[in-house]
A and B are shown apart, each in its own frame.
Chain A
Amino acid sequence: MQKITRDVLVSKAISLLEDGNVSHVLGWRKGEFDYDITPSVFSEKEDIENNFVWNDFCGANFSKYLVQKTRKLEGKILVFLKPCDTYSFNQLLTEHRFDRDNVYAVGIPCEGMADISKVKKICGEGISSIDFDGDNILVNTVYEDAPIVIDAKSVLSERCINCKSKKHVAFDELIGEEGEIIESGRFDEVEKLEKMTPDERFEFWQSELSKCIRCNACRDVCPACTCEKCVFDNPKSGVENKAPANSFEEKMFHIIRAFHVAGRCTDCGECSRVCPQDIPLHLLNRKFIKDIDNFYGEYQAGAEVGSRAPLVDYTTEDVEPSDIFEGRNG
């Protein structure tokens, strides 16, 4: 369960609104079943009181919304940022995607978010409401009289099991205790893939990517994908495509996207969270992160504003292409 309560965030939002410090609040809006939360703009006190939520299902990262919202909305926007969200926030600032002056960022601690599909694997269908009690999630369903008690740790989403940082790298104000950067096991799965033979690896990605329905949710939610017009949507680009026409094209989309965000992907995990087909897209991006760390020295996209990503920078220390080739064969 989250240590900071909803009420703390609600009163923070309302006081900043009422004092005129901000005119809008980016927050999580209550849904129908306690887990289906919608990122939303709040501007009225009453709306916040009634509909703002903060619980284990508030996974959505608001950073990317700032690109659009700072252009469209008048006045300052209050945004609540979990530690991982702050990396996307900085990365977008590095790329000059929104005006920092239009945003008031409040960092909030996060105990990790639940994955609703993991919850449903335990409690089944028919959720009528969800409550939180200490480390437990209590799920009421139409099939059971008593709530089903689930240990929140057992349903953490993948990106939270492998959380890289409980520390906020950007904020105007912090609520709660600041955390630390974590040594996570986020590259363990990548290492497993590296140990495979090329054929096995090809087989792995083939079977994963062939599930793709090209809904574009991964791209559209990605804070590193903020092109005004994606090449894949541009009829004039020659590569525009609305469907995975064949198995080659299917992989192309993902590989091109992974290259495009290489060095800019902060590993926020939104792509894997939203994929309706449960494709582990984060593994592709983490492979790039791991290789960059390896060849150019440790680099975390979004750790600070203005850093030059290794792939768009040049230093005389840079690795030689031949070393990379040997690294791959060695």
Chain B
Amino acid sequence: MFKSSLNSINEIFAKIAENATLYLPSDNKDGNAVYTKWENGVVWSNSLNTVKSPKDFFFPQVEDMMAFKTEGKNIEINDIREESEDFVVFGVRACDVRSFDILDRVFLVDPCDSYYANRREHGIIISVACTKPSETCFCKTFDIDATNPGGDITVWKTEDSLYWSANTDRGRELLSKLNLEECGDEAVNEQKAKTEAILNKLPLANLNTDGFGGDKTDALFDRPEWKTLSESCLGCGTCTFVCPTCQCYDIKDFNTGNQVIRYRCWDSCMYSDFTKMAHGNNRLSQVERFRQRFMHKLVYYPANNDGIFGCAGCGRCVSKCPISMNIVKVMKTLGGND
């Protein structure tokens, strides 16, 4: 365990940024935290979390995959992807650290998604333990410990200090370069206990996953409550775009006039044109599309991933849905919660 004073944080950021691009949550002019490239003057946000998740670092909303040029009968295919340089993401919360594991299980299994893998290899994650969780947080439901977030390096924040501990080899390598003072873990344990007490008081502290899991398709699929739960869903996709674990994308071609650029962009199961193919749409009504999002997180994903749920309890969809319908309400209605 290493210690630094909170006042010296900019010097530490500067040191990290010497070797790699550093991103961290910083408030924009609306007062919302956004992952921002650090340079002198960029201030680390006090907000609990960013509106958009750090998923963008590994699975960006839009990315160019390749380009084609045709001349007569010849097609030239160009690899136009941008090779990632090393980068560091600082300030990631425990829920979002879990989201990377959830995405890894999709993108890194055979056949491995080389675009994603490339970014994962180049990105170092410095997590920061939560001290002021929100009412919309329910990471605990998925056995995520907000006081011990993981990643390559974990940081704990107290009134005036930061405590650092590395969890991986590359984390240790980076940490050793920061020349921080060694220390015991008393202060961290004290802070953990404080946060733990708050986590237990949160309104969603007792939300549980009873009634969900890989074997629950039959029990849940035809439940009549889907209709009422989804009745005012706008199908807007905000929930999927702010979600750190939503992983669906579309691949499209953009004809620039002299070449065709093939790119991928996030897609949403909430959209009427989602996976529209030659045979048409496979989910014709909003009830079916709505059900898909939650069944994927709470049933299909765990079915394919050793029982791990596809939600990290970050609460973004809870706070951003225009009609305040979300996974918590779905779980309370369909699961074993009172």
B324–A125 CB distance below 8 A:
no
Q: How far is the CA of A127 from the CA of B266 in the complex (A)?
A: 32
B307 located at the interface, meaning its Cβ lies under 8 Å from any Cβ of chain A in the complex: no
User: Is B235's CB under 8 angstroms from A220's CB?
Assistant: yes
Determine whether the beta carbon of A242 is less than 8 Å from that of B266: yes
Chain B at the A interface: mostly helix, strand, loop or mixed?
A: loop
Query: By DSSP majority rule, is chain A's interface helix, strand, loop, or mixed?
Result: loop
Contact A233 B272 (CB under 8 A): yes
The bracket for how many chain B residues form the interface is: 35 or more
Contact indicator B51/A221 (Cβ below 8 Å): no
Q: Confirm or deny: B170 has a beta carbon within 8 angstroms of a beta carbon on chain A.
A: no
Residues of B within 8 A of A154 (CB): none
Report A20 CB to chain B, min CB distance, Å. 22
Q: Which of B245-301 contact A (CB under 8 A)?
A: 250, 254, 263, 265-268, 271-273, 276
- In the docked arrangement, what's the CA distance between A124 and B131, Å? 13
Bound: A125/B318 CA distance, A:
13
Contact A235-B276, Cβ < 8 Å, known A31-B329, A127-B135, A221-B236: yes
- With a cutoff of 8 Å between Cβ atoms, the chain A residues found around residue B232 in the complex are 38-41, 65
A245: B residues at CB distance < 8 A: 62, 254, 263, 265
What is the CA–CA distance of A135 and B166 in the complex, to the nearest angstrom?
A: 51
Chain A residues with CB under 8 Å of chain B are 31-33, 36-41, 60, 65, 121, 124-128, 141-143, 211, 213-217, 219-221, 229, 233-235, 240-245, 273-274, 276-278
Contact B320 A125 (CB under 8 A): no
A215 touches B132 (CB 8 A): no
Q: Is B209 interfacial (CB-CB < 8 Å)?
A: no
Selected A-B contacts with CB under 8 Å, 19 pairs: A32-B204, A39-B323, A40-B228, A40-B232, A60-B322, A125-B48, A141-B135, A142-B201, A142-B203, A213-B52, A215-B238, A233-B272, A235-B273, A235-B276, A242-B266, A243-B61, A243-B266, A274-B238, A276-B320
Say how far B25's CB is from chain A's closest CB, in angstroms: 14
* In the assembled complex, B101 has its CB within 8 A of some CB on chain A: no
For residues 159 through 206 of chain B, which have their beta carbon under 8 Å from a beta carbon of chain A?
Answer: 198, 201-204
Q: Is B117 an interface residue (CB 8 A)?
A: no
**B241 is an interface residue with CB less than 8 A from chain A:** yes
Judge whether B242 and A36 touch: CB under 8 Å: no
Cβ < 8 Å to A, chain B residues 49-97: 51-52, 61-62
| Contacts A31-B324, A217-B322 given; does A126 touch B202 at CB 8 Å | yes
Q: Mark B300-322, 1 if CB is under 8 A from A, else 0.
A: 00000000000000000011101
Distance to closest chain A CB from B193 (angstroms): 15
Could you tell me the distance between the alpha carbons of A143 and B329 in the complex, rounded to whole angstroms? Answer: 24
Chain A residue contacts of B31, Cβ below 8 A: 121
Q: Are A125's CB and B132's CB within 8 A?
A: yes
Q: How far is the CA of A278 from the CA of B52 in the complex (A)?
A: 12
Query: Which residues does chain B contribute within 8 Å of A38, judged by CB atoms?
Result: 232, 323-325, 329
B203 touches A274 (CB 8 A): no
B203 contacts across to A, CB distance below 8 A = 32-33, 128, 142
Q: Mark B200-238, 1 if CB is under 8 A from A, else 0.
A: 011110000000000000000000000010011011111
A32 & B329 in contact (Cβ 8 Å cutoff): yes
Query: By the criterion CB–CB under 8 Å, are B202 and A215 in contact?
Result: no
Q: When A142-B135, A142-B202 are in contact, do A244 and B324 touch as well, CB less than 8 Å?
A: no
Q: Which chain A residues border B132 with CB–CB below 8 Å? A: 124-126, 143
A172, chain B: closest CB distance, angstroms? 22
B227 to chain A, nearest CB (A): 10
Mark each residue of chain B from 109 to 151: 1 if its CB lies under 8 Å from any CB of chain A, else 0: 0000000000000000000000011111000000000000000
**CB of B20 within 8 A of chain A?**
no
Which of A37, A126, A221, A243 is within 8 Å of B133, CB to CB?
A126
The 3 closest A-B pairs by CB, nearest first: A243-B265, A274-B322, A36-B324
Task: Assess whether B19 is interfacial by the CB under 8 Å rule.
Answer: no
**Quick check: is B5 within 8 A (CB to CB) of the other chain?**
no
Please name the residue on chain A nearest to B60 by beta carbon: A243
Q: B273, A233: Cβ atoms under 8 Å? A: yes
C-alpha spacing A214/B270, complex, angstroms: 13
Question: Is B135 within 8 A of A128, CB to CB?
Answer: yes
Whether, in the assembled complex, B45 has its beta carbon less than 8 Å from a beta carbon of chain A, the answer is no
| CB of B10 closer than 8 Å to a CB of A | no
User: Nearest residue in A to B264 (C-beta to C-beta)?
Assistant: A243
* 10 other A-B residue contacts (CB within 8 Å) besides A36-B324, A233-B273: A39-B323, A128-B201, A142-B198, A214-B241, A215-B237, A215-B242, A221-B236, A233-B272, A235-B273, A277-B32
Q: In the assembly, what is the distance between CA of A211 and CA of B268, in Å?
A: 19
Q: How far apart sit A215 and B236, CA to CA, in the bound complex (Å)?
A: 6
Contacts A233-B271, A243-B265 given; does A126 touch B198 at CB 8 Å = yes
Q: Which of B133, B235, B265 contacts A242 (CB 8 A)?
A: B265
Cα-based distance from A243 to B135 in the complex (angstroms): 30
Let me know if A242 and B135 touch, CB within 8 A: no
**Cα A143 to Cα B202 with chains together (Å):** 10
**Complex contacts, A213 vs chain B, CB 8 Å:** 52, 61, 241-242
Which of chain B's residues has its CB closest to A270's CB?
Answer: B322
B328 interface residue, CB < 8 Å from A?
Answer: yes
Chain B positions within 8 Å of A243 at CB level:
61-62, 265-266
User: Nearest CB to that of B255 among chain A residues?
Assistant: A238
A253 to B: closest C-beta gap in Å: 13
Q: Does B158 contact A (CB under 8 A)?
A: no
CB distance from B256 to the nearest CB of A (A): 11
Chain A residues, CB < 8 A from B273? 233-235, 240
Complex: how many Å from CA A294 to CA B301? 56
The CA-CA distance from A276 to B239 in the complex, in Å, is 10
A13 to B236, CA, bound (A): 29
Cβ A125 vs Cβ B133 within 8 A? yes
Task: Please pick, from A36, A39, A235, the residue contacting B318 in the complex, using a CB distance under 8 A.
Answer: A36
